[in-house]
Structure 1
């Protein structure tokens, strides 16, 4: 027979939670303290992020004001030299032409600029952190739980502190995307360097290589395929976060998708979703093909 709360002490039926008054007071103090810090250092924060705003604006201007045919040719050239696969190049051309035909070219260029900047920032942050983690087990044990939180936290939650600190605009959205997308870059850089064969490292030590020579001449080149996988995942997560980031002022395809959701415009949402999927596939296939080429080259050189 199941026990019922009517026959048990109240403390066994109702969890002894903290008083609502105490929680409200603590929440108010934390929020007020956070806002006071933002007000005190607002000018410094703005000055720090201003270069990001300039870089993003300049890249958007370049992408949107360059004739579409030049952008298309450059994209096809980059895809070819990275993948050396004519099928991927043809797929890229068809996808981008369809995006232009449906009137989504400018929005796609804005999204490309955002993803490009986010990926570059993620690489600049993730690569050194991954290298440091690979060199220190203690640092890895400290950073790993943080990465777990960053990857499991709902993406909408990132927008709250970012908006409080930076307000509404492109830079807050960019920072939220980077926070969401950088963990794979850190993890896979760490993994790639740790997977380098110890015998190769011992050979480098035997030749008298310094730590920096061993890192740049042996570990990073051998870890490049895994690092490329990290860049691939970072790009995919950046594209996935673009729609959420549109809630704080990021334009492009994400903004259109959000408007389509709010107004229940199925066709508009589908077309913008198709454009995002097309870009994701182009990046994914190209980076995967480049990673495989690096792996084959590595096997030939060190095989």
Structure 2
């Protein structure tokens, strides 16, 4: 046994009491601040569920064709979506997709400005990097405790926990992409008398778009990786089906719902990767696919 150096109970009690005080005095304010996120999530979910399956399939197959210009990926998307429909997982898949899209959009809005800030100020990068390390290594269940205490079980704590878990890769890759722009190109843009804002939006961001899009891809995948855990506090969707399969020992329910999550992951992963390769080819960072 490790010797007890000091009693940690008062420290733990003070942390719990502090969070209880926040919930009691600021709970309503936190719920009001999170209401736009809930509105966005519900709006996207209602839109996806209301969209006829055949229309959603045509749209996603068309996006896959535009991303790859080959027939293989659209066929994979078509087969995957038909699998979700045949296995009676369509509505749950739309709920999961809505959570993933909302978390990804929110992460984009937050992460890209933070990544830009990090790339332009070394002290900010040195401060934010340990925070990102903590966000990525902290067990995701830890995020659920304070969010459930503040908001109660439901979609909002699941969404917030998903955003916290999924945002760091996009912050890192945005910072990396902006700092990796060729210094000669930056020097040439300065010689033309451009302002820092013009260099950022006219040179750095366009040249670093493939890297930023890779960050979006990673954020999307990490958001999907959270769906089972998020279902434990009321997120619903395919993760809830997996959770029910565990609770009822129904192998088929858990297996098919898990395969549904894999289908969504493959679809969104391949589409975003393909768009990233197209951007690389356009700006000369990679050979165009033939």
- Runs (4+) of structure 1 exceeding 3 A deviation are none
Structure 2 residue 136 is the aligned partner of structure 1 residue 151:
yes
Match of 2:155 among 149, 164, 170: 170
Deviations 1:265-292 (A, max 9, x none): 1111110011100110111111111101
1:130-209 → structure 2 map (5 Å cutoff): 130-209=115-194
Deviation at 1:68, TM superposition (A): 0.7
* Residue 300 (structure 1) shift: 7.6
Q: Which runs of 5+ in 1 are unaligned?
A: 1-13
Give the TM-score normalised by the residue count of structure 2.
0.96
Hey, what does 1:247 align to over in structure 2?
232
Q: Does the Cα contact within 8 Å between 2:19 and 2:146 map onto a contact in 1?
A: no
> Contact between 1:173 and 1:249, CA under 8 Å: does it hold in 2?
yes
* Alpha-carbon distance between aligned partners in 1 of 2:241 and 2:163, rounded to the nearest angstrom: 21
Aligned to 1:17: 4
Contact 1:126/1:186 (CA < 8 Å) preserved in 2? Answer: yes
Q: Is the 8 A contact 1:185 1:230 kept in 2?
A: yes
Give structure 2 stretches of 5+ with no counterpart.
none
SS of corresponding position for 1:141: helix
Q: 1:133 to 1:56 in 2, by over 3 A?
A: same
The 8 Å contact of residues 253 and 272 in structure 1, kept in 2 or not, is answered as yes
Q: Would you say the 8 A contact 1:83–1:287 is kept in 2?
A: no
2:177–2:208 CA contact under 8 A, matched in 1: yes
User: 2:79 is matched with which residue: 94, 100, 114?
Assistant: 94
1:294 aligns with 2:286: no
Aligned to 1:84: 69
- With normalisation by structure 1, the TM-score equals 0.92
SS in 1 for 2:133: helix
- Indicate conservation of the 8 Å contact 1:184/1:230, yes or no: yes
Instruction: Assess if the C-alpha contact under 8 Å between 1:76 and 1:93 holds in 2.
Output: yes
Aligned-pair CA distance for 1:109: 0.6
How many angstroms apart in 1 are the aligned matches of 2:285 and 2:249? Answer: 54
The change in CA–CA distance for 1:83 and 1:39 in structure 2 (over 3 A counts) is farther
Tell me, in whole angstroms, the C-alpha distance in 2 between the residues paired with 1:282 and 1:300: 24
Provide Cα deviations, 1:99-131, integer angstroms capped at 9, x if missing partner.
101100000011111100000001011100111
Cα deviation for residue 25 of structure 1 reads: 2.0
SS class of match (1:41): helix
Task: Map Cα deviations across residues 146-184 of structure 1 (whole Å, 9 max, x no partner).
Answer: 111111111111111111122111011000000000000
> Is 1:277 matched with 2:265?
no
Deviation at residue 187 of structure 1 after TM alignment: 0.3
Q: Secondary structure at the match of 1:224?
A: helix
